[in-house]
Amino acid sequence: MAQDTGFQDPSGEVLAAAATTFGLLSSAARLHIVWALAEGESDVSGLAQRVGGALPAVSQHLTKLKLAGLVRSRREGRRQVYFVDDPDVVTVVQSMVGRLAEQEAADAGRPRRLRGAGG
């Protein structure tokens, strides 16, 4: 029997939109791009250098993120400057990645258990 928590289930449209956004962010490269843009604007060359990706690949990732409305760009002279267009997505990305980074740092000092080793 379902417990009444006072929360209503979101609509199918809202869930589909959330799934699409999480799907876009399921790529480590796109997640890294959003993480980098959360710190400030950048052009594609700067992003490619920071995330360690090839220029054409980073450009394709940025196109997908733009189409989804997660980032925007503006022209500055001959270059396109990209920035995050959805601060709520930045909050989610920073929260999750930051938490996992903290967990990794905490685990670094602990002895590692071998998988499959008896308890």
pLDDT digits (tens, 9 = 90+) for 8-60: 999 999 999 888 888 888 899 999 999 999 999 999 999 999 999 999 999 99
User: Exposed/middle/buried for 59, CB within 10 Å: 0-12, 13-18, 19+?
Assistant: middle
Instruction: Scan for tokens 């790529």, then name that residue.
Output: 27
Average pLDDT, the chain: 87
Q: Are strands 71-76 and 79-84 parallel, antiparallel or unpaired?
A: antiparallel
CATH class of 25-106: mainly alpha
CA angle 5, 90, 106 (to 5 degrees): 80
Helix or strand holding residue 44 (H, E): helix 44-51
pTM: 0.77
φ, ψ (nearest 5 deg) of residue 52:
75, 30
Q: Measure the CA–CA gap between 11 and 18, rounded to whole angstroms.
A: 11
